[in-house]
Amino acid sequence: MVDGLADPYARFVGPDELAAFQQESSGTYVGIGAMLHPDGRVLFPILTGPAEAAGLRPGDRIEAVDGRNTAAMNSAELVSLLRGPRGSSVVLEILHHDGRHERATIRRRPVPAGTVGDSRWLDREAGIAHLHLRSFAESTARELDQALQTLEAAAPL
């Protein structure tokens, strides 16, 4: 049916993938706290999340999860292995972007999506600030309001 659309961007989203998307877009999920590129590289760890505490950094590649090689996995498969019950642990084999290999045991916990990253004034006098929106979720508006309030408190106009 999807092939009949002749649209290269159309694809079927099954119930498992839809549930994962809905959980991710809620603004909080139980996992290690890392946003991943489809090829398994870490785009960024969620600030104050378990992945950041374990030393994962942008560009690191997750090569195995609990002994299972991730090379042939798609991002949905990889994410399903990284998420799990609160308090459970997962063992990762990591290839850091600098070439070092490491094994890390990470305890899963609820992690806010952290959709608003860096927020800072570029030119206070001109009223110009920088807000980094990493992604969008139900929590984005609340996070954006909080970041703006923090900026305004630091340097009211």
Rounded Cα distance between 113 and 64, Å, is 23
Could you tell me which residues are beta bridge partners of residue 69? 64
Give the pLDDT confidence of 71-111 residue by residue, as tens digits: 888 888 898 899 889 999 999 999 998 999 999 999 999 88
> Comparing C-alpha atoms, which of 145, 137, 146 is closest to residue 115?
137
Residue 32 contacts residue 51 (beta carbons within 8 Å): yes
Is residue 113's pLDDT more than 80?
no
| DSSP annotation of 38 | T
- Of 144 and 29, the structure prediction assigns the larger pLDDT to 144
Give the pLDDT confidence of 122-132 residue by residue, as tens digits: 998 888 999 98
The fraction of the chain above a pLDDT of 70, given in percent, is 91
**Confidence band for 60, pLDDT divided at 50, 70 and 90:** very high
Q: What one-character-per-residue DSSP string does 49-97 give?
A: SHHHHTT--TT-EEEEETTEE-TT--HHHHHHHH--STT-EEEEEEE-T
**Which residues, other chains included, contact 148 with Cβ-Cβ below 8 Å and sequence gap of 6+?**
119, 131
pTM over 0.75: no
**Confidence band for 117, pLDDT divided at 50, 70 and 90:** confident
Predicted local distance difference test score (pLDDT) of residue 7: 87
